[in-house]
């Protein structure tokens, strides 16, 4: 049996506990208690969440754990000196040490992320990088595995991280069955973006939504403003004005973001060459796609794909 210790911080967010359901349903899928999950805190006892719900925890001690996870908290830099001291010895004692959401700040404070790649909630990523310059923060990732240290983005990304652990321990079939019971996708890969280009645009009218849906279906074509305007049943001038008013972006920039998102997914889920991906997502050639990736991520497609493969191998 694998014992999992989940460290609950003062002001923790209830959503962080959702990740534990992956281990619960893995036990049910296996028909035996594969995972023994325990809630921990510095001194034990009742710990109050950010919304006022409290949970009972056990104090940190010398219990052996296979995996140690630090949950996110609404209180950045929660005063947990005992937790920091405990974590500084963790890498030598446990097979995996992980953090969901802002729990990455606690790992960083303990020095566990120095020289390692890590992620956290997108809204806190730059703060994490500024406070801990030795950490290689990648703000647009669902989760990252760097050796024995795992970190995830915020909220539901903790479920993806836990499903990845189940897959690593028990195989893809079990993880897929658990995901199905949780009514989530079989986990999103770590390299997937925290953002959805369509959700970020948040179009308000049916006409602009129709134009974006048309664009997403036809990314491999040139997609002129005239074509998008026709899909929205507007004149090109009316369309451009309405599009910018509703989304805050030009049609060209929005189409580029849709193409970047599609290209990243293709790099993650296919073995197509960069040239083929560039053509199929409408960039026409690899140089244009490279420039778009540099604008969006500060890295060329080849580096992003290499990171994805390194993580998958890990």
Using the predicted structure, report yes or no on whether residue 304 has a pLDDT greater than 90: no
The rounded mean pLDDT for the chain is 90
User: What radius of gyration do the chain's Cα atoms show?
Assistant: 22
Convert the pLDDT of each residue in 30-53 to its tens digit. Answer: 999 999 999 999 999 999 999 999
Q: Between 92 and 37, whose confidence is greater?
A: 37
Q: Give the pLDDT of residue 185.
A: 63
Lowest average pLDDT, out of 51-65, 180-194, 236-250, 255-269, goes to 180-194
Q: What share of the chain is helix, strand, coil (3-state, %, to 5)?
A: 50, 15, 35
* 257 three-class SS: helix
Task: Describe the crossing of helices 157-170 and 172-181 by its angle, rounded to 10 degrees.
Answer: 140
Give the tokens for residue 314: 């890990």
Give residue 245's pLDDT band: very low, low, confident or very high (50, 70, 90).
very high
Using the predicted structure, report yes or no on whether residue 76 has a pLDDT greater than 70: no
In whole angstroms, give the CA distance from residue 148 to residue 67: 10
Q: Which DSSP string do the residues of 27-40 spell out, in sequence order?
A: HHHHTS--EEEEEE
In this structure, the number of other CB atoms found within 10 A of the CB of residue 80 comes to 22
Using the predicted structure, report yes or no on whether residue 70 has a pLDDT greater than 90: yes
Using the predicted structure, report yes or no on whether residue 201 has a pLDDT greater than 80: no
Q: Between 268 and 221, whose confidence is greater?
A: 221
In whole angstroms, give the CA distance from residue 75 to residue 91: 25
Give residue 307's pLDDT band: very low, low, confident or very high (50, 70, 90).
confident
């Amino acid at each position: 049996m694998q014992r999992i210790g989940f460290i609950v911080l003062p002001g923790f967010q209830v959503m962080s506990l959702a990740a534990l359901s992956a281990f619960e349903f893995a036990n049910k899928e296996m028909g035996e208690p594969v995972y023994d999950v325990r809630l921990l805190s510095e001194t034990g006892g009742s710990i109050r969440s950010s919304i006022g719900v409290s949970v009972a925890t056990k104090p940190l001690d010398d219990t052996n754990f296979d995996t140690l996870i630090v949950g996110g908290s609404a209180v950045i830099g929660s005063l947990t000196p005992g937790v920091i001291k405990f974590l500084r010895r963790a890498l030598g004692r446990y097979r995996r040490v992980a953090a969901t959401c802002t729990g990455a700040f606690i790992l960083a404070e303990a020095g566990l992320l120095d020289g390692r790649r890590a992620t956290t909630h997108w809204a806190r990523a730059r703060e994490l990088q500024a406070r801990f310059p030795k950490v290689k923060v990648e703000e647009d990732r669902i989760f990252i595995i760097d050796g024995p240290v795992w970190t995830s983005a915020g909220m539901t990304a903790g479920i993806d991280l836990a499903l990845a652990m189940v897959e690593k321990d028990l195989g893809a079939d079990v993880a897929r069955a658990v995901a199905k019971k949780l009514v989530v996708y079989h986990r999103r890969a770590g390299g997937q973006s925290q953002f959805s280009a369509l959700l970020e645009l948040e179009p308000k009218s049916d006409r602009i939504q129709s134009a974006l849906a048309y664009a997403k279906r036809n990314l491999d074509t040139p997609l002129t403003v005239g074509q998008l305007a026709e899909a929205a049943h507007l004149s090109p001038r009316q369309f451009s004005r309405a599009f910018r008013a509703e989304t805050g972006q030009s049609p060209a920039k929005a189409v580029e973001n849709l193409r970047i998102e599609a290209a990243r997914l293709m790099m993650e889920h296919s073995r197509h060459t960069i040239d083929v991906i560039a053509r199929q997502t409408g960039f026409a050639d690899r140089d244009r796609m490279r420039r778009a990736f540099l604008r969006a991520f500060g890295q060329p497609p080849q580096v992003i794909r290499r990171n994805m493969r390194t993580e998958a191998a890990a």
